[in-house]
A and B are shown apart, each in its own frame.
Chain A
Amino acid sequence: AQSVTQLGSHVSVSEGALVLLRCNYSSSVPPYLFWYVQYPNQGLQLLLKYTSAATLVKGINGFEAEFKKSETSFHLTKPSAHMSDAAEYFCAVRTKAAGNKLTFGGGTRVLVKP
């Protein structure tokens, strides 16, 4: 079985500050890991994905994430927050055994203060 836990349902950061969103996964087999962003009244947009190549993954909009097997984590970071980063972020896991099914974390809503 696969599962994802996102620590913190809400995160508030100041514009220009570091954004850190935490994601821990549980999987009995090597996982594929994803971060998605959802803006109000929109679907999900892929930020980045880990597919067992490099452990440090760079995505769009300046985001990156590091896969740490020993910690079963895949935290998302961005060095400097912009107002446009205000959105909800979802971590998701997928394994070959589960097919195309994505299992999502509960989401973290990011508020960016000017």
Chain B
Amino acid sequence: KAGVTQTPRYLIKTRGQQVTLSCSPISGHRSVSWYQQTPGQGLQFLFEYFSETQRNKGNFPGRFSGRQFSNSRSEMNVSTLELGDSALYLCASSLEGLAAPPSYNEQFFGPGTRLTVL
């Protein structure tokens, strides 16, 4: 089974631009979560999508948004990029059932997209 894939792996943008990152979960996984990893703030939760709906959200400004498609693939978008948005963005998928709250199913992480904002 293929793992979580993220594209692109590396990205360089300039301040003020916007960027879209893509995540393809493991086949059959319906939950996709996004995390930002920086040396200063560590790993921080951005948001989670399940069945095309945002189910949970972290404490990030509205410039950070995401969506999920019917095939569970997810994208996250960052508008009006700032220098501080430079980070490794990690996507994770998990096998969730229909019942809420979610179980403790393992989250499988992709290799990440390294975004550099100049």
From B58, B101, B111, contact of A41 by CB (8 A): B111
Residues of B within 8 A of A42 (CB): 111-112
Check: A72 CB closer than 8 A to any chain B CB: no
Contact call B4/A99, Cβ cutoff below 8 A: no
B25 → A minimal CB distance (Å) = 13
With A and B bound together, what is the CA distance between A3 and B108 in angstroms? 21
With A and B bound together, what is the CA distance between A27 and B94 in angstroms? 23
Contact call A96/B101, Cβ cutoff below 8 A: yes
Contact call B55/A99, Cβ cutoff below 8 A: yes
Q: Tell me the count of chain B residues lying within 8 A, CB to CB, of chain A.
A: 27
With A and B bound together, what is the CA distance between A107 and B48 in angstroms? 22
Interface string of A81-114 (1 = CB under 8 A from B): 0000000001010101111111111110000000
Contact call A99/B106, Cβ cutoff below 8 A: no
With A and B bound together, what is the CA distance between A101 and B46 in angstroms? 9
- Contact stretch, chosen from A14-22, A43-51, A63-71: A43-51
From A43, A94, A101, contact of B111 by CB (8 A): A43
Contact call A43/B102, Cβ cutoff below 8 A: no
With A and B bound together, what is the CA distance between A107 and B35 in angstroms? 15
- With A51-B104, A102-B43 known, 16 other A-B pairs at CB within 8 A are A36-B109, A43-B4, A43-B90, A43-B92, A44-B92, A46-B108, A49-B104, A94-B104, A99-B101, A100-B31, A100-B48, A100-B96, A101-B45, A101-B56, A103-B45, A106-B42
Residues of A within 8 A of B (CB): 32, 36, 41-46, 49, 51, 90, 92, 94, 96-107
